[in-house]
Structure 1
Amino acid sequence: MSEPREVTVLGSTGSIGRQAIAVARQNPGRLQVTGLAAGGGDVALLAEQALSLGVRTVAVARATAAQDLQLAFYAAAQQRGWAQGHYTLPEILAGPRAAEELAARPADVVLNGITGSIGLGPTLSALRAGRTVALANKESLVAGGELVKQAAAPGQLVPVDSEHSALAQCLRGGARGEVARLVLTASGGPFRGRSAAELAGVTREQALAHPTWDMGPVVTINSATLVNKGLELIEAHLLFDVPYADIDVVVHPQSIVHSMVTFADGATIAQASPPDMRLPIALALAWPDRLPDVQPALDWSQASTWEFMPLDSEVFPAVRLARQAGEAGGVVPALFNAANEEAVAAFAAGHLAFTAIVQVIARTLDAAPDLGAPTCVEDVLAAEKWAREHARVAIAGG
């Protein structure tokens, strides 16, 4: 039997990271987690993960969290009854570039589960070091665009998002020249079917009540506005080299069919499974192989109904806006993403109305100068800085 794949998990204390670790623990003969990275907001959980997995290296983005992590290691070790000094502590990397450094360390797969465009640096670092990147951090691909594409060799980027994992699986059903359309499915979020007027007073708690998925707060709010689907549209174009005109979005409230591919002869192949992120995570870590017993399959002994309906782009204009940003290219998708991150933070803090999130993005894109195509990460960061500053002015009512 071959040695297990060595896996580095970036964003280990987040939703994707925790589920990836659970998948690895269920498959010790196939997957071994050897490195962890997190922001540093929950050092107790990070220390527990590191010691229980026996990882070589831990990275924390907050430099001040390094000492806290060291103390958390000792506390977690004491709870296990280990005498101080009678166990090996992982190496600690600390600071804003720590995840980038860890991403380049030896491993077979780097799972990027960091939330936000701060994941771009680690993605590029892992790709340039020749690692396979299991990408859950869609923002780094959206913001980095061609930089990520240029750094990635064929097959080096493996999607973790359930929709893009589904597309990758469906694309196995035919040659690339036979592909007619990609069809991304969207749950429609918690406000599907509402009018624009009915969205005016939406609260943070309502936006966080997703009907089918359990995700982190930023992704959940993005799903409620359908910005998440806009980001996924851009990501699908970049991952699979399919023109924007040939990528559709359809609302499917049950979240059972995760996406579909229509081929030139009129056949459509869909990937269906209960809504559970363990399946796409496991597939990305073991790609192109499948791991056994990752999650329960659909129960065909029970009656069920699957619905599909067109997206109401008048009430939810985020996908249309993302399509325009993607077609514009350059750093425009990065502007879209950065403005959204600022608007979501303002909404979560109670400083912005729900319906104003996408309005802030639109105003930011409308005011954007021609910043050209990015040639390095600094170009992307500069564009994001401009977008964030402009979004803050728009949020403040300026």
Structure 2
Amino acid sequence: MHIQPVKQLKGTLKVPGDKSISHRSIMFGALAKGTTTVEGFLTGEDCMSTIACFRQMGILIEQAQDKVTIQGKGLYGLTKPDSVLDVGNSGTTMRLMSGILSGQAFEVEITGDASIRKRPMDRIIRPLTSMNANIRSLSGNGLAPLLIKPSILKPINYVSPVASAQVKSSILLANLYTGSTSTVNEPTLSRNHSEIMLNHFGAKIEIKGSLVTSYPIKELFANHVVVPSDISSAAFFMVAGLICPNSDLLLKDVGVNPTRDGIIHVLKNMNGSIEIINERTVNGEPIADLHIKSSKLIGTVVEGDIIPTLIDEIPVIAVAAAYAEGRTTIKDASELKVKETNRIDTMVCELKKMNIHIEATKDGMVIVGGNRIQGAQVKSYDDHRVAMSLAIAALGATGNTTIENSSCIAISYPNFESDLSALTLH
């Protein structure tokens, strides 16, 4: 991808559907009785991996662009796949599906690409094993591929050492097969899309602070799902609109779930002009339009309980910080080290190439804004969020920027480059 500096961004944009909600619509639809319909489905590679896995297990899924129909077979309707399930680059698919597969009557192996085979799976193996799941890392090091064999699951009261929606969701999904009540207690509440959608499909999930309780049910029932635009994808255009002069953007139908909207709070703290309008709730998920205008950003501190609500947006927050006046410090974000790449190291390395003052810390980074940002040849490390963040950083640079291996963007935002081009005036 080649990015030239731009004079301004103007227009209205609806970014693709939320990745987390799209994954769950397929999984829960497959486990529900009846026909589930989904609107606004994200057709990125990660979500297509989820579709492929459930098709392998006998679920009929029809797709026409962002509209999907799932013929659910109930909690016990999945069938043994003919071959290994391949999740591609999707950690969500592997971790959530492991909870589901722990309750099935067949043996199955799950693998993924080279990146997935480096990401920690012990964080789900431990609680699922405590639920009597027969799940193990075939390499014996807590990494994929995973082998799951049939077992009789039992409930758990799990105190999670990390605030992780994937860990929590794998337990909630496994609990559907215990016939009993399980709890998950997190340090802070992580994304709650699973709880909201499970209740939408007829489960009984209760949330009290950071304690989530899953009560026994006999079935899930098909429903209609409207997927909001993904705030993690909208974040790139929020920052772009704030840092490019004379810009005025309207981002439509963005999911503003309080467990995901930390990016909005941080950018407002940085003096960003973000107006939240047309707020409403669909399928239990809060949605709004976001009006973004160019702003003179200032440095801030990002730390503590807000981190789980913006963990995927930290790379682009680092870009906003590079264009802000003063120092921005990001702390408590060691989770970034175990994403598609070590996002702390990769962002620091690549932004330095653009003459940005940025240093890594043990759990985050420090960025000093105000330096003259220069175009450069940079690398994505096959990480979609790193690639898109570097593209936004390049918009206000002097000179052109080339991003190597930018095709990884298709994992979550296949039309990113064309959407960006449609809004820019050079």
Q: TM-score category by the smaller chain?
A: under 0.3
Q: Which has the higher helix share?
A: 1
Question: What's the TM-score, normalizing by structure 1?
Answer: 0.26
Q: Which has the higher strand share?
A: 2
Larger RCO (alpha carbons 8 Å, 6+ apart): 2
